[in-house]
Amino acid sequence: MSHDSPPVRRLADWDHDRLGRLAAEHGTPLYVLDVDRVAENYERFASAFPDAHVMYAAKAHTGRAVLSKLLDTGADIECAAWGELQRAIDAGADPDTLQYTAVNPPDHDLDYAVDLAEDNPGLTVTGGARDTFDRLEARGYDGRVAIRVNPGIGTGHHEKVATGKDAKFGIPYDQVPEVAEDVAEGFDLVGIHAHAGSGVLHDDLDDHCRAIGKVADMGRKVETEVTPLEFVDFGGGFGVPYREDEEPLDMQVVGEKVRDAVGELDAQIKLEPGRYVVADAECILTEVNTVKETPAATVVGVDASLATLIRPAMFGSYHPIRNVTAPDREAEPVSVGGPCCTSADVFCTDRPIARPEREDLLAIGNAGAYGYELANQFHSQPRPAEVAIEGGETRVVRERETLDDVTSLER
Contact 270, 53 (CB under 8 A): yes
Identify the three-state secondary structure at position 299.
strand
Question: What's the rounded Cα separation, in Å, for the pair 149 and 135?
Answer: 18
Identified catalytic residue from 79, 283, 341, 348: 341
Question: What's the rounded Cα separation, in Å, for the pair 324 and 15?
Answer: 9
Contact 363, 19 (CB under 8 A): yes
Contact 200, 208 (CB under 8 A): yes
Question: What's the rounded Cα separation, in Å, for the pair 249 and 238?
Answer: 8
Contact 210, 261 (CB under 8 A): yes
320 annotated ligand binder? no
Other CB atoms within 10 A of residue 165 CB: 16
Distance of CA 259 to the CA centre of its chain: 23
Which residues, at least 6 apart from 173, have a Cβ–Cβ distance to it below 8 Å? 149, 150, 151, 152, 214, 218
209 is a catalytic site residue: no
Identify the three-state secondary structure at position 192.
strand
CB hemisphere CA count around 231 (13 angstroms): 21
C-alpha triplet 213, 317, 286: angle, nearest 5°:
135
Question: What's the rounded Cα separation, in Å, for the pair 39 and 70?
Answer: 6
Other CB atoms within 10 A of residue 60 CB: 22
Contact 276, 41 (CB under 8 A): yes
Core vs surface per residue 380-397: b (16+ CB within 10 A) or e = ebbbbbbbbbbeeebeeb
273 annotated ligand binder? yes
311 annotated ligand binder? yes
DSSP for residue 274 = S
272 annotated ligand binder? yes
Cis peptide before 95 (omega within 30 of 0): no
237 annotated ligand binder? yes
Q: How many residues does the chain have?
A: 411
Question: What's the rounded Cα separation, in Å, for the pair 354 and 26?
Answer: 24
Feature table: binding site for pyridoxal 5'-phosphate: 237, 272-275, 370
Feature table: binding site for substrate: 275, 311, 370
Feature table: binding site: 237, 272-275, 311, 370
Task: State the catalytic residues.
Answer: 341
